Amino acid sequence: VRSGWDDDQCLQIRGHGLELEKVYKYCFFRFFFPPTQEDMVLQQIEREVRMREGAYKLLAACSQRYQALEASKSLLTCNARILALLSQLQKIRRAQILEQVGSRSDHVQGDVPPCTGRLSLSDLRIPLMWKDSEYFKNKGELHRCAMFCLLQCGTDIFDTDLVMVDRTFTDICFEDTFIFNKAGPEFRLRVELYSSCAVEEFSWGAPGPRRMSFLGGSLGRSSGKKIRAALESAAACGGGDVRPGHVGPKFNQLAHTILRIEHVREGFKTHDLMLSATEDSPFWLPLFGNMCCRLVAQPLCMIQPVISGQLLVKGSDDWERLDCILRRQTLLCYQSPEELESGGKPLVVIPVRKNTRVCVSEGDPVHGRQHILISTPLQGNNVNYTVTSSNTESTHRWSKILQQHNLCFFSGHWKQCCDDVMKIEMPSSRKSNPVKQGSLYHEIVRAVTLHQEGSRITSRPGAFLGGVCMFCLFACGFTLGTPVSSHRPKTCMLN
């Protein structure tokens, strides 16, 4: 049969066999030797390096200004992610070294860290403050810039869409929702505004020589070369300058702010911006000095069951084996697993709140088991519950998780986020069509128009007769026929 094949077909079949052999070896290795946290970070760094190289090639092939701006934005985002991942890699290796030399004491290892949570930032609004001669009289040189925002929380970095801004804009609106899934209560969410002049001419230069050097250590030669080159160029470029010989659109930081747990609230809030540019800069935009957004947080202990399993709950006469689940601020105990799954009425309800005390008693001299004591003051009296498990390991696990869960409420790590479950708007699977942002002048409705509308205007909620009605600074593309959403900031100004 093989004699009927030509040499090309034999080489092709042999190549497929070698590829399958590589896949089998990779799957076998990953099954018995799962990747460590360091390996996963290295894989993410290599992926970002490849994306950065692809963005640079795309930038070199761009023939239009907007395409070059998008490519330059991608390069800046990749550089920020590479630097964040390298910092995370350094922390992991430092922790490994400290663990090897045994510098961690027993009391540090016994500390219970608070749970993580989900963080969401949405409806970002940035107001602008143009001069009267530029905005109303439409005088002066046309100043047009490309702008976007970069959001960073740990190693999670997101960027917004690119927006072309000129003097017809009263505010810049980003409708996207950004979710950070592994944020701790001590998070620092950094929001950076980048801008680039969109009217200046630019020319393409020949790409400069690649700077290759060895990173050393356990990265390996191939990974070390790419990561070291990415680190040097990423650290050297504050904006879009990614190569020594690169000539093209460059993004510069316009302003920034840092959001913490104190800035979290259910509704919209205004935050101050730290300006990084002056009016003389070509990429300058007349920022008002503030931004408006909706920042909410959901600790994991508030949105999902923390732990479930069987516990021995001490009653008035004897111990009773119940199926228990810890959800939000309550430990629910059911008689059977079926009742737990159906969500029926629990037999015992043990509150776990801010003022709850959780401690582990010494071993029982009769049964030899440790007990978990849960004490909660209710109406001036302490209500005590005693639970335990069938083995010591399970008891330690329950006590540790109960202490961690209580830590989120008692110590106030998540503060106001544990009062109620805040609602997070999930991002849409596909991007909606961008709303055209126009001038505030075209959103002014004069009294003559209002009188001509007659009863149709007067019957609409929020309609005003007489005078001039200027609609929200933070709402873009607002018209009289647009329904007013209850969770969007709508501000009206009357003269």
Write out pLDDT tens, residues 277-315.
888 888 999 998 999 999 999 998 888 898 999 999 998
Strand segments, DSSP code E, in 223-334 are 252-259, 269-272, 274-275, 290-299, 307-314, 319-327, 330-334
Q: Copy the structure tokens of residue 201.
A: 């001419």
CATH 2.30.29.30 fits 305-418, yes or no: yes
The pLDDT value recorded for residue 364 is 62
Locate the domains of the chain by residue range: 12-301, 305-418, 438-495
Within 147-246, residue ranges assigned H as helices are 221-236
Distance CA 72, CA 74 (A): 5
CA angle, 204 then 205 then 210, to 5°: 130
Share of the chain above pLDDT 90, in %: 36
Given this model, what pLDDT does residue 262 score? 94
**Considering only CA atoms, which of 174, 170, 172 is closest in space to residue 444?**
170
Residue 439, pLDDT score: 42
pLDDT recorded at residue 177:
94
Residue 185: per-residue pLDDT: 92
- The pLDDT of 127-133, averaged and rounded, is 80
What's the mean per-residue pLDDT of the chain? 76
What is the arithmetic mean of pLDDT over 224-249?
55
Q: Which range scores top for mean pLDDT: 217-221, 247-251, 338-342, 471-475?
A: 338-342
pTM (global) more than 0.75: no
State percent of the chain over pLDDT 70.
64
- What's the pLDDT at 404? 81
Contacts 24+ apart (CB under 8 A), 86-93: 86/45, 86/227, 86/231, 88/41, 88/154, 88/155, 89/38, 89/41, 89/42, 89/45, 92/37, 92/38, 92/41, 93/38
Is the model more confident about 353 or about 202? 353
CA end-to-end distance (rounded Å), the chain? 92
Q: Indicate the range of 46-50, 114-118, 170-174, 448-452 predicted with least confidence.
A: 448-452
Of 210-224, 418-432, 467-481, least confident by mean pLDDT is 467-481
Mean pLDDT on 34-58: 90
> Which one is predicted more confidently, 91 or 238?
91
CATH of 12-301, one of 3.40.190.80, 2.60.40.150, 1.20.1440.230, 1.10.357.10: 2.60.40.150
Lowest mean pLDDT among 23-37, 226-240, 319-333: 226-240
Q: Is the pLDDT of residue 34 over 80?
A: no
Residue in the block written with tokens 């007067």:
458
Instruction: For residues 223 and 229, give the distance between their C-alpha atoms in angstroms, rounded to a whole number.
Output: 10
- Whether the pLDDT of residue 372 is over 70: the answer is yes
Q: pLDDT band at residue 482, thresholds of 50, 70 and 90?
A: very low
Q: CA-CA distance, 7 to 140, in Å (whole number)? A: 72
